[in-house]
Amino acid sequence: MGLAERRRIAAIKDSHSARFQSELNAAIGFELPFEIDVASFPEDKTILDCYDSYYESYGPGLVVNVMKEICKDDMGREAVKAKFNRIVFLNVAKSPDDPGTKSIEIKDQTLFVRESFYGYSDQLYGDSELQSALEAML
- What are the pLDDT digits (tens) for 38-49? 889 888 888 888
* pLDDT score for 33: 97
Boundaries of domain holding 43: 3-137
Looking at the structure of the chain, the number of domains it has is: 1
pLDDT at residue 68 tops 70: yes
Global pTM reads 0.91
pLDDT at residue 82 tops 70: yes
pLDDT at residue 120 tops 70: no
* pLDDT score for 80: 97
* CA 47 to each of CA 20, 39, 41, 81, 96: distance values in angstroms, whole numbers, following the listed order: 20, 13, 8, 33, 7
